[in-house]
Amino acid sequence: MLDGEPNSDWWRGAVIYQVYPRSFLDTDGDGIGDLPGITRQVPYIASLGVDAVWLCPVFLSPQRDFGYDIADHTAIDPRFGTLEDFDILVARLHAHGLRLLIDLVWAHTSDAHPWFRDSRAGREGPLSDWYVWADPRPDGTPPNNWLSVFGGSAWTWEPRRRQYYLHHFLPSQPALNLRNPAVVEAQASVARFWLDRGVDGFRLDAMDFLLHDPALRDNPAAIRPEGAPLPAKLFGMQEHPYDMMHPDGAAVMREVRRIVDAYPGACILGEFSSQPGAFARVAAATAGVDRLHMGYTLGPLRGGYDWTSVRALLEEVALHADDGWYCWSFSNHDVERAASRWGPYAERAGHPTGPEGPARARQLLALLMTLRGSVSLYQGEELGLPEADLGFEDLHDPFGIAYWPEFRGRDGSRTPMPWRADAPHAGFTTIAPPGRPWLPVPAAHAALAVDVQETHPGSMLDYTRALLRWRRREPCLRHGSFRVLDLPAPVIGFERAHDGQALIALFNLSGETVPVRSPALLERLPPSMSAGGAVVLPPHGSIFGMALWTDVAPAVPAPADPAAALMRADGDPA
């Protein structure tokens, strides 16, 4: 734990930098990133102005799902290093004022885990009911119609037990029986092991899959518009009231919170799916003192970036703004990078290394940093990296291999970090040609390398650091309330208010210059923000300013210059 204020709500409004270890920095030349590589780059991470690091799994694993199939929860996979390397990383992060969250996968393990090997051996052993087992139907088919997220039945036959076992993802990821108190206690021991080693909390994987309907009822078919094509992913052909999102999962969350509360300052970040009602589930799961501290949903990562979609997103956020605590994420290791997902190829192929860089990438980052809640910033997002365009021969992701080319998988967001533009493999690894890192480094990424952007004032990296400095010193952004402004397309806006001050944020989602002439808005903004009776936003531009008044009784004197926190129309902090 960090010294200072262990009981403080440090995570409220915090920015958490997500590190995907395989792709961060390789120091031993095997083409795979490792713990010493992360330790070496801790000063870089700290220089961004983030508060914490979320480390994706480094546990012992067959790596069929790249670490989310755990074979030993308390051992480090040799690909990444040793427990000593882990301890050195924790100490290095803490020395730089950074906290560490690690992934905790409660809902499943690898089929190579000793727990599963014992459980599959027979129906009478001490671990026989540690996983979800069920008899076949009379005709030998699976117990019900549940589908795996990765395709096909969610059930696999185990001849040793003459039963099926449940897996929501790969067949090599059997689901744990979290209704068994012994299983919950075993996972609790895992959590304590890492907390005792100094981690500051956990990111909990796949919260919507903790528990399911104990009666194993069939899921109903999803309603599809007449004539609509079949989805490439079978999982989308069902509604999911029985195989996921069971309300009994709340008891598991309370148990995790009880464990973490014994370590002052530790916190829990939960991952929730994009199934309907995601924001309400996050709000319910993070409300009160016996649930998760914060949660995020993949919903915003799946949606579009048009005015209608973003406005609907903000309104849903506002509906639950006073409930629980969100952690926003626009990019991560499971989805296409936001710079590509929400922008046409012609723009995302550009190089945001100067003031003329893609305005949309900057706007996405500005929106991410000004929404109410905490933030997860994915490695490379600070560089404006687009999705890597990989060929089928480059893929490792079983999800992408199975669905190619309709779904290109997750490898395009997992390619190595580019550190030095002119170095082999952009400085990610010392492995010499014709060898190669586990995934190739695209030429477009090398052009956006850290060393290039470090020397370009106004680069995306420079802009990220400025945004984070601004966010850190502005209480409205870290702690303020959230209210959507009623503005016509293509402009969206909201107000963040805290301690008698209010900050207004405006975003032009179009590629054209747009004047905003709302009298109610203009009378609240400093005159320096408007001209000719309008606030003018450039294409994909963002403008922020302190409001001249607020309907909250001032708790502190208003600043002498209400435009002091203004960001210029070109998006650079003033």
How much of the chain, in percent, has pLDDT values that exceed 70? Answer: 91
Does the domain made of 480-574 have the CATH classification 2.60.120.260?
A: no
| 51-55, 145-149, 393-397: least confidently modelled range | 393-397
Could you read off the pLDDT of 220-257 as tens digits, one per residue?
999 988 888 888 889 999 999 999 999 999 999 999 99
Q: Kindly tell me if the per-residue pLDDT of 573 is higher than 50.
A: no
At the top level of CATH, the class of 15-107+181-211+246-467 is alpha beta
How much of the chain, in percent, has pLDDT values that exceed 90? Answer: 73
Distance CA 518, CA 505 (A): 14
Residues 492-503, mean pLDDT to the nearest whole number? 93
Alpha-helical regions (H) of 21-112: 35-40, 42-47, 83-95
Q: How far is CA 202 from CA 55, 65, 191, 283, 479, in A?
A: 9, 19, 8, 18, 22
Could you read off the pLDDT of 320-350 as tens digits, one per residue?
878 899 999 999 998 889 888 875 433 333 4
Per-residue model confidence (pLDDT) at position 224: 85
Q: How far is CA 75 from CA 72, 148, 175, in A?
A: 6, 28, 20
Could you read off the pLDDT of 299-310 as tens digits, one per residue?
776 767 889 989
Active-site residues, by number, are 205, 271
For residues 481 and 497, is the Cβ–Cβ distance under 8 A? yes
Per-residue model confidence (pLDDT) at position 495: 94
Closest-CA residue to 449 (of 466, 465, 426, 431): 426
Could you read off the pLDDT of 90-102 as tens digits, one per residue?
999 999 999 999 9
Domain limits, the chain:
15-107+181-211+246-467, 480-574
Distance CA 6, CA 351 (A): 41
Q: Kindly tell me if the per-residue pLDDT of 356 is higher than 50.
A: no
Residues 404-425, mean pLDDT to the nearest whole number? 92
Backbone angles phi, psi at 14, to 5 degrees: -70, 155
Per-residue model confidence (pLDDT) at position 506: 95
For residues 522 and 528, is the Cβ–Cβ distance under 8 A? no
pLDDT, mean over the chain: 89
Distance CA 389, CA 391 (A): 7
| 152-166, 355-369, 380-394, 436-450: least confidently modelled range | 355-369
Q: Kindly tell me if the per-residue pLDDT of 523 is higher than 90.
A: no
Q: Kindly tell me if the per-residue pLDDT of 4 is higher than 70.
A: no
Q: What is the pTM of this model?
A: 0.92
How much of the chain is helix, strand and coil, in % rounded to 5?
A: 30, 15, 55
Per-residue model confidence (pLDDT) at position 341: 81
Backbone angles phi, psi at 279, to 5 degrees: -65, -40
Residue 252 neighbours by CB distance under 10 Å: 21
Per-residue model confidence (pLDDT) at position 529: 84
Could you read off the pLDDT of 118-173 as tens digits, one per residue?
999 999 999 999 999 999 999 999 999 999 999 899 999 999 999 999 999 999 99
H helix or E strand, kind and range, residue 536: strand 535-537
Residues 468-490, mean pLDDT to the nearest whole number? 94
Closest-CA residue to 546 (of 531, 528, 520): 528
Per-residue model confidence (pLDDT) at position 364: 92
Q: Kindly tell me if the per-residue pLDDT of 435 is higher than 80.
A: no
Burial of residue 392 (CB within 10 Å: 0-12, 13-18, 19+) is exposed
Residues 13-30, mean pLDDT to the nearest whole number? 96
pLDDT band at 548 (very low <50, low <70, confident <90, very high): low
The structure tokens listed for 86 are 């882990």
| 134-143, 312-321, 465-474: least confidently modelled range | 312-321
Per-residue model confidence (pLDDT) at position 105: 96
DSSP 82: -
| 197-211, 297-311, 358-372, 475-489: least confidently modelled range | 297-311
pLDDT band at 555 (very low <50, low <70, confident <90, very high): very low
Burial of residue 200 (CB within 10 Å: 0-12, 13-18, 19+) is buried
